[in-house]
Structure 1
Amino acid sequence: MMDFGLHIANFFFYAFHTGLIFFNLFGWLHPRMRKLNLISLLVTFGSWLLLGFWKGWGYCFLTDWHYQVLRLLGERDLPSSYIAFLIEKISGWLPNAELVDSLTVSLALLALLCSFWVNFRNRKVKDKSV
């Protein structure tokens, strides 16, 4: 029975964490999702930087929780990057860690800048029309 719960948790983390990554990257494109996207990105960067101060740079609590479940299911030698983990699961190829980390941070920063821009640009437009 415990094994079934671990498999459910594993499925949840695959779906939720992967969905969150795509939402962080592209959620700013949808006007109704922009504020939530900005909050999600700020929580993500907070985890990477603030929690990372104690746990190691780039720490993600979702990755940590998912990896705990995967270890209980027998997975070993998990890469430090969840993105690298997903790439390996999908393609069988484990990319270079530095490349994955650089692309992850670069794309996340770009998404954060876009999210700030669309959130605060709209506020300026609304302020001018009042």
Structure 2
Amino acid sequence: MSDFFLHLLDIFFFAFHTIFILFNIFGWLVPRWRMLNLLTLSLTAFSWFILGIWYGWGYCFCTDWHWEVRELLGYQNLSDSYIHFLILKLTGINLPPHLVDTGTALVFFSALFCSIYLNVKNWRNGYKKGDK
């Protein structure tokens, strides 16, 4: 695989994964996106908790693929979590991994709670025009 293609994949994963994370956190705010948001949060939970049984707690296949690309490019991944990596890459701040993991879990479960609550509420009330 050429270095050019690997660099493109690195950029793709950086952008896609970051957008996916932001959508997980904030997607429930937009009524039309709530069902998709619940689906992406569920996919994340499946990766973390079900695949995590075999690959380790908090396993993310997207992170795994991105790490493989970065290894082929010769980068050393100094973070065990993608959120820690993002914070370090975007700000240069190297927060304690435990703090980042705890914050990630709190934000994830808050977003999941909001998404479930609002999806159930919409389902019970019947989806109104614009809520789908």
1:12-65 Cα deviation digits (max 9, x unpaired): 001000000000000011111110000000000000000000000000000000
* 1:109 maps to 2:109: yes
Q: Where does structure 1 differ by over 4 angstroms across 4 or more consecutive aligned residues?
A: none
Equivalent residue, structure 1, for 2:42: 42
Identity of aligned residues (%): 50
**Alpha-carbon contact 1:24-1:37 (below 8 Å) kept:** yes
Give 1:16's aligned amino acid. Answer: F
Q: TM-score, normalised by structure 2?
A: 0.93
Equivalenced residue count is 127
- Equivalent in the alignment of 2:58: 58
Q: Distance in 2 between matches of 1:8 and 1:113?
A: 35
Q: Deviations over 1:39-98 (max 9, x none)?
A: 000000000000000000000000000010111111114311101101111122221010
Counterpart in 1 of 2:67?
67
Gaps of 5+ in 2: 128-132
Distance (Å, rounded) in 1 between the aligned partners of 2:36 and 2:91 = 31
Aligned to 2:19: 19
The alignment's C-alpha RMSD in Å is 1.2
Contact 1:78/1:85 (8 A) holds in 2: yes
Which residue in 2 is equivalent to 1:10?
A: 10
Gaps (5+ residues) in structure 1? none
Q: TM-score if structure 1 supplies the norm length?
A: 0.94
